[in-house]
Amino acid sequence: MTGYFLIADLLGFGSIVQNLSEESLSNRIETWVELIQGTATKLGVQHVQLISDTVFAATESSSEGLEKLIKFGSTLLNAGVPLSLPIRGAISHGEYSWGKLTYGKAVIRGHELEAAQDWIGIGCENALPHLTSAWGRDSLVCYPLPMKRGAIRLHPVVAWEVPEFQVLIRFLSSDGLIREGDALGWELGQKLTTHYTLACISDS
Quick one: what percent of the chain has pLDDT higher than 70?
89
Rounded distance between C-alpha atoms, residue 70 and residue 45, angstroms: 11
> Which whole number is the average pLDDT over 100-104?
95
The pLDDT assigned to 196 comes to 55
Rounded distance between C-alpha atoms, residue 89 and residue 172, angstroms: 17
**Cβ neighbours of 187 (radius 10 Å):** 10
The pLDDT assigned to 96 comes to 97
The pLDDT assigned to 183 comes to 65
Task: Dump pLDDT digits (tens) for 183-198.
Answer: 666 666 676 666 555 5
Rounded distance between C-alpha atoms, residue 148 and residue 1, angstroms: 31
The pLDDT assigned to 44 comes to 96
Alpha carbon separation from 24 to 31, 90, 117 (Å, rounded): 11, 29, 29
Helix (H, G, I), strand (E, B) or coil at 138: coil
Task: Dump pLDDT digits (tens) for 145-202.
Answer: 999 899 989 999 999 998 888 888 889 888 988 877 676 666 666 766 665 555 444 4
Task: Dump pLDDT digits (tens) for 63-75.
Answer: 999 999 999 999 9
Which amino acid is residue 47, in one-letter code? H
The pLDDT assigned to 189 comes to 67
| pTM of the predicted structure, to 2 decimals | 0.91
Is 61's pLDDT higher than 70?
A: yes
